[in-house]
Amino acid sequence: MSSPNNPDYAVEFARVRKTYGSRAAVRDISFSIRPGEFFSLLGPSGCGKSTTLRMIAGFEQPDTDGGEVRLNGKLVNHLRPYERDLGMVFQSYALFPHLTVARNIAFGLEQRGVGKTQIAERVRRAMELVQLDARTFGDRLPPALSGGQRQRVALARALVVEPPILLLDEPLGALDLKLRKEMQQELKVLNKRLGITFVYVTHDQEEALTMSDRIAVMADARIAQVGTPAEIYERPRTPFVARFIGESNFLEGGVEAVEGGRLTVCHPAGLFSVPVPAAGAPAIGSRVHVALRPERLHIDGEGDNSLPATISHVIYRGEMLHVKLSVAGGGELVVATRNEGQLRRPLAWKAGDKVRATWFAEDVQVLEQDPT
């Protein structure tokens, strides 16, 4: 298998496959990452995202006939990690405990034979980038640092060699929530400031949505969907993506009619309409599955669709309230509504009230089947 070099992409995977014995870790995945992009590999444990990152790094190789990995247009399937000109930040940080912060950061430059004067200046600039004062922290040892400070040292060590591509393997997983959110913003700023391609592995949906230019959602060793955060969240392709990214309501029914760019779907509680999917209108009589985000669903509100329901209970979640509805004919829907102040202006509904769940057809996404 061969394809021409394409320097328009920093990373390219073309039908890449990786197996361990009889177990498929990655199944024929294809995607491309543009230079300077913040690209996240998102999915649950065991889905193949870390294996994919390790194949970019060169710690793992695709199967012998398992497709191509290209970096900046160059085929790298058989290149060793040090031949790939990459930086990498690990979840464990992997700092040398017996070396000072400055020596840890300088290690890659020393291995490349950079002169001492230049090393000192580049280490200082790298520490400045990650907001560590060289005079305060340069002579400290890693065990004397906090988790957040160690994470910054690991990041500076990767950035100091000025790699065109930086790989990050769940680097914020060990940090507390407040610091993790701060570092998310700092990483995004660094990505845009330096113009380096970031490839980021995470299982945290909010983290990926916050930082990424584009996301590849992985499931069962495959890529389920690639898109911008808005595309992934608002137009999920499969039930897995709709469930894994945020929360979703699911409805299904038979197609009763196709007219004017919409499908009329017959649900046990009544009829509702959805846009014709991009792949084309399904046959009348076939069944369709659709996803609807809780914040796009309303109680007795506006919309060109509605189904009768009964309020089962209300869940208080601080800034948001989740109202659970039992739908006539079976099933459950969740409505997310902003908390306007339950002590001053409590909800007008209570458990047992008969209501109508309403929504606009354009807010519904017709789903493809999850791959098997």
pLDDT tens, position by position, 180-215: 888 888 889 989 998 999 999 999 999 999 999 999
What are 23's strand-pairing partners?
A: 20
Q: Dig out the tokens for 339 from the structure.
A: 């908390």
Report the percentage of the chain scoring pLDDT > 90.
66
In the chain, the amino acid numbered 299 is I
C-alpha 101/C-alpha 149 separation (Å) is: 10
Q: How confident is the model at residue 6 (pLDDT cuts 50, 70, 90)?
A: low
145 closest CA partner among 174, 181, 116, 182:
174
C-alpha 73/C-alpha 151 separation (Å) is: 31
Residue 331: Cβ within 10 Å count: 17
C-alpha 141/C-alpha 156 separation (Å) is: 15
Instruction: Kindly list the structural domains of the chain, giving each domain's residue range(s) and its CATH number in brackets, ordered by start.
Output: 11-240 (3.40.50.300), 247-366 (2.40.50.140)
Q: In what order do the strands lie in the sheet with 287-292?
A: 270-275, 262-267, 249-259, 287-292, 365-366
Q: How confident is the model at residue 354 (pLDDT cuts 50, 70, 90)?
A: very high
C-alpha 292/C-alpha 236 separation (Å) is: 10
Q: Which residue has the higher pLDDT, 41 or 6?
A: 41
Residue 275 phi, psi dihedral angles, 5° rounding: -65, 150
Length of the chain: 372
Residue with tokens 């701060």: 182
Per-residue pLDDT tens for 269-306?
999 999 998 888 888 999 999 999 999 999 998 899 99
For residue 307, the 8-state DSSP code is E
- DSSP characters over 139-177: T--GGGS-HHHHHHHHHHHHHTT--SEEEEESTTTTS-H
Share the mean pLDDT of the chain.
90
C-alpha 223/C-alpha 217 separation (Å) is: 6
Rg (CA), the chain: 25
Does the structure show a pLDDT above 80 at 221? yes
Per-residue pLDDT tens for 49-82?
999 999 999 999 999 999 999 999 999 999 999 8
C-alpha 53/C-alpha 283 separation (Å) is: 41
- For CA atoms 175, 178, 179, 180, give the dihedral sign: positive
251 closest CA partner among 303, 283, 282, 291:
291
Give yes or no for a contact between 157 and 105, defined as CB atoms under 8 angstroms apart: yes
- For CA atoms 287, 292, 296, 297, give the dihedral sign: positive
Q: E strands along the chain, which residues?
A: 11-20, 23-33, 38-42, 68-71, 74-75, 86-89, 165-169, 197-202, 214-219, 222-227, 249-259, 262-267, 270-275, 287-292, 298-299, 305-317, 320-327, 332-338, 354-359, 365-366
30 closest CA partner among 218, 243, 235, 233:
218
Task: Quote the pLDDT of residue 1.
Answer: 37
